[in-house]
Homo-oligomer: A and B are copies of this chain.
């Protein structure tokens, strides 16, 4: 069971002349889902959580498999699981699906950086504690 799921509808402008969601949008969908996870499970918004902890997060790696296309106006689910919390990095897997059919699977590695130096920095304790709740079942 995925730890967190966000639903969204595919927008017209996100679809291309093949009439399917353009591939780059799935990376955006995952970003949106993780932003929502922060919004719902921290006391502050994503931006405030980062700022108050003096960190920011960057994507270091993203591996995506495209299994089936999503189309205009379809509702899709973006499931997020925190697979591993390292010292400075976090590994996340995502399953994007429609009515239970897998469309895209993804594995991402995020790195926490110091807001001032933009150098790798340990994951702040409050972020680590909250994200740990979204590990694999």
- List residues of A whose CB falls within 8 A of some B CB: 11-13, 15-19, 22-28, 31-32, 35, 39, 45-47, 56, 58-66, 69, 72-73
Oligomeric state, in copies: 4
Q: B residues within 8 A CB of A24?
A: 13, 24-28, 31
With contact pairs A32-B11, A73-B39 given, residues A27 and B16 touching in the complex (Cβ less than 8 Å): no
A12 touches B27 (CB 8 A): no
A31 touches B17 (CB 8 A): no
B66 touches A63 (CB 8 A): no
Q: B residues within 8 A CB of A72?
A: 17, 46-47
Of B35, B56, B66, the contact of A58 (CB 8 Å cutoff): B66
How far, in whole Å, are A65 and B69 apart by their CA atoms in the complex? Answer: 24
